[in-house]
Amino acid sequence: MTWIREAGRHQMVVGSQARILYSDQVGRVRLAQAFNEAVRTHRLKGPVVISRDHHDVSGTDSPFRETSNVYDGSAFCADMAVQNFIGDAFRGATWVALHNGGGVGWGEVVNGGFGLVLDGTEDAHYKATLTLNWDVSNGGSRNGQESLQS
């Protein structure tokens, strides 16, 4: 919640300052749960949607940028984006996307993304916990393997 209180002081360089949240895994889960609770208790008037396109640790396979330092032969595979996409779907994301482009050009990258509706229910709380923990951990495990192999 500190990020929300201090949002006016953040100097974001990508997109709208109100739409980008940089947080770690624990922070993302807690923030989603807090939004869901605010909807449940009517502090917010309606559902909140949180989403991620490709700007994250586990959502992008780009051999010319994000995965350019992968030396195990998989730099040109879309394994991380596909695993992310499928994992988010199985954990309850409202929608998932597997797409191309994302800043480096069509055909140069594969991205996995998701959206999650927080409607104040216990189900949304549960899905936020599963989805956001997976969404970050998937990339951390891949990047950790890369570090060990280099």
Q: Give DSSP secondary structure letters for 54-86.
A: S-SSSSEE-TTTTTTT--SS-TT--HHHHHHHH
The domains of the chain are located at 2-149
Query: pLDDT higher for 114 or 23?
Result: 114
Lowest mean pLDDT among 74-78, 83-87, 121-125: 74-78
Global pTM exceeds 0.85: no
pLDDT-derived band of residue 147, with 50, 70 and 90 as boundaries? very low
Query: What secondary structure letter does DSSP report for 111?
Result: E
* Angstrom distance (rounded) from CA 116 to CA 30: 14
Give the pLDDT confidence score for residue 29 in this predicted structure.
92
Is residue 103 pLDDT above 80, yes or no?
Answer: no
Which CATH number does 2-149 carry? 3.40.1770.10
Type and span of the H or E element at 42: none
SS3 98: strand
Lowest mean pLDDT among 25-29, 51-55, 97-101, 136-140: 51-55
The DSSP line for the chain is -HHHHTGGG----SS-TTT-----HHHHHHHHHHHHHHHHTTSSSS-EEEEE-S-SSSSEE-TTTTTTT--SS-TT--HHHHHHHHHHHHTT-SEEEEEE-TTS-TTS-EEEEEEEEE-SSHHHHHHHHHHHHHHHHHHHHHHHHHHHH-
Give the pLDDT confidence score for residue 119 in this predicted structure.
98
Give the pLDDT confidence score for residue 98 in this predicted structure.
84
The proportion of the chain whose per-residue pLDDT surpasses 90, expressed as a percent, equals 29
pLDDT-derived band of residue 149, with 50, 70 and 90 as boundaries? very low
Side chain identity at residue 56, one-letter code: D
pLDDT digits (tens, 9 = 90+) for 26-82: 888 999 999 999 999 999 999 999 887 665 666 666 777 767 677 777 666 767 788
Is residue 17 pLDDT above 60, yes or no?
Answer: no
* Angstrom distance (rounded) from CA 68 to CA 21: 25
